[in-house]
Structure 1
Amino acid sequence: MGLERIVDIATDNRHLSAHRGFLIVSEERVEVGRVPLDDVGAVIVHAHGVTWSTNLIVALAERGAVMLLCGSNHSPAAICLPIDGHHAQNGRMRAQWEAGRPLSKQLWRALVVAKIRWQGAVLAANGHSATAFDHLARKVGSGDPENIEAQAARRYWPLLMGEAFRRDRDAEGANALLNYGYAVMRAACARAVVAAGLHPSIGVHHAHRGNPFALADDVIEPFRALVDALTIRLIAHDITGVTSEAKRAYAGLIAVDLMLDDGITTVWLAIQRTAQTLARSFQSGRATDLILPAPPSALELAALDGLIAR
């Protein structure tokens, strides 16, 4: 599978349809854009009054693509996912559902350790000491009973964003940028989870009954730091709102290169491998089967500047 595109619909009163292998965007029955359906990994709808045809939803589902609907704060409100994601879906979903608490807790530990190490890498690339984050990562126990994740967050945000910053999903500025970036990354994670034959609502840690993205919210954890790193770069370029420039930059995140043990790959392929090996862990009962990418280097993070239009 090649690199897929994130299609963002941000203009009101657009109509989305499928025609001869293309996603067609039109306004008052006049076409204003088209994208090959085979290139679409996710469609994110932010605008009001947007309509779409059933044919389009079916065409997206047949290709394993997702449609994500966002609220006014740029956080996801609903998602449309394909039913068939993988030839081994039934067995994988059964193993996912039947996974015992010990396995789920070990998987969550691995995800939290990776998240904290990625946060440390982002801080180090921005001139801050990451020693405390290495120490915190080593302290994470199975299931993170001491909530080291939250302890790391309390250190992380003031260092990265300044002492006055508070993470608020309903706030504007940097918070709105983070909401949008996480929505893009969450769509990619949901897409990868479904493609791996797993159900996105059955998480290893995130288990709120009303959360249709629970497993995607588990998988996203290490990758959130990439959104954070790009956000502070956007702000440094005086982009403080969810503008078209910001949206293009976040959509480009999944194409950024990461160094893995077996060579260079993209963020999108790293997310796919995370989801595939998570499925393997559910089936084997071994948390060690989960493969997570190593924290990005300062050089890899510096490449994020290339996503920002000048």
Structure 2
Amino acid sequence: MDRIVDIASEDVFLHVHRGFLLVERQGEEAGRIALDDIGGVIAHAPGLRWSNTVFTRLAERGVPVVICGTNHAPSVLLWPLEGHHLQGARMRAQLAAPRPLQKQLWRQIVSAKIMMQGAVIERHGKPAGAFEMLARKVRSGDPDNVEAQAARRYWKLLFGEAFTRDRAAGGVNGLLNYGYTVLRAIVSRAICASGLHPTLGVFHANRANAFALADDLMEPYRPLVDDFVHELASEGIEAVTPEAKRRLATLGTLDLVHEAQTTPLGLHAQRLAHSLATSFELGKPRLSLPFTLATASAESRDFEDA
């Protein structure tokens, strides 16, 4: 199982030795992990030092490296130049995707996200019928911004009336930032493995965002991070502690239901990215989307555009 490696300690040196990523402090080995077991590296420590070989060996395995700011949100994401053997053809199809197809894909993504939000709310014993209704209201391209309507309802139900989502804030917001960073690394690796280009998003298109597609595809999984953070907060953990990071780093192993099968999130993200590549090649939306931690109804899985 791919592991997320978090480097938060100051004054450490990372280098590669005989297939292992080694962490050294003051010339002494502090830890090691096999390169083949790594699914992503997240770095927080300002005083961290790297061997250049770390980046080349991780790139050979399609492993993204995420460098974070003080708010635990990603500032830099390093991406390998070489990926899937069909990378060239798939990127051309991605670049040529017509706007109507992109809007249909975004509709499916937003609908799945809202359904997952409802599943999380229901998991905590609160009424979630409105989320299924909102999911069905999403039109191609979400011109009515149903995503924002659902978010306003969702955050208050999950974290209380006083909560406001703020990337620059600490506490629960800092935990959410860190969890989304883990998720972004998982999804970014899946995109690389599928032969798609991370900059060419379906919806997100900020010219300064080199990983717009990762931000698109992680949307349906975000409520899973929120659920993790809610659990941590209920235990009194409201800061990005080592324990919080350890638990959030296991996000990729979380089981999801898809077509009556249970699949770990990390593997599901790979299927989603592959299904997006297929959608670009066919010119039709064929996304393999997550919906819930529990059993999803056949009706909730039907988000095809007429």
Q: TM (normalized to structure 1)?
A: 0.94
Aligned counterpart, 1:33: 31
Deviation of 1:51 after TM superposition, in Å, equals: 1.1
3-state SS in 2 of match to 1:264: strand
- Match 1:294 to one of 280, 287, 291: 291
Alpha-carbon distance in structure 2 between the residues aligned to 1:291 and 1:257: 15
- Match 1:264 to one of 262, 265, 274: 262
Structure 2 runs not aligned, ≥5 long:
296-306
Q: Percent identity?
A: 54
- Match 2:102 to one of 101, 104, 119: 104
Deviation of 1:294 after TM superposition, in Å, equals: 2.6
Aligned counterpart, 2:150: 152
Q: Is the 8 A contact 2:138 2:146 kept in 1?
A: yes
Alpha-carbon distance in structure 1 between the residues aligned to 2:112 and 2:160: 23
3-state SS in 1 of match to 2:248: helix
Which whole-Å deviations, capped at 9, do the CAs of 1:92-143 have from their partners, x for residues lacking one?
Answer: 1111111110010000000000000000000001111111111100100000
**How many equivalent residue pairs?**
296
Q: Aligned ranges for residues 155-304 of structure 1 at < 5 Å?
A: 155-287=153-285, 289-297=286-294
Opposite residue 246 of structure 2, the aligned amino acid is R
Deviation of 1:296 after TM superposition, in Å, equals: 1.8
> What is the alpha-carbon root mean square deviation over aligned residues?
1.1
Q: Is the 8 A contact 2:237 2:244 kept in 1?
A: yes
Alpha-carbon distance in structure 1 between the residues aligned to 2:11 and 2:203: 38
Alpha-carbon distance in structure 1 between the residues aligned to 2:197 and 2:34: 27
Aligned counterpart, 1:94: 92
Alpha-carbon distance in structure 2 between the residues aligned to 1:47 and 1:55: 19
Q: Is the 8 A contact 2:221 2:290 kept in 1?
A: no
- Match 2:57 to one of 46, 59, 62: 59
3-state SS in 2 of match to 1:155: helix
3-state SS in 1 of match to 2:155: helix
Structure 1 runs not aligned, ≥5 long:
299-310
Alpha-carbon distance in structure 1 between the residues aligned to 2:255 and 2:177: 23
Deviation of 1:16 after TM superposition, in Å, equals: 0.7
Q: Is the 8 A contact 2:101 2:284 kept in 1?
A: yes
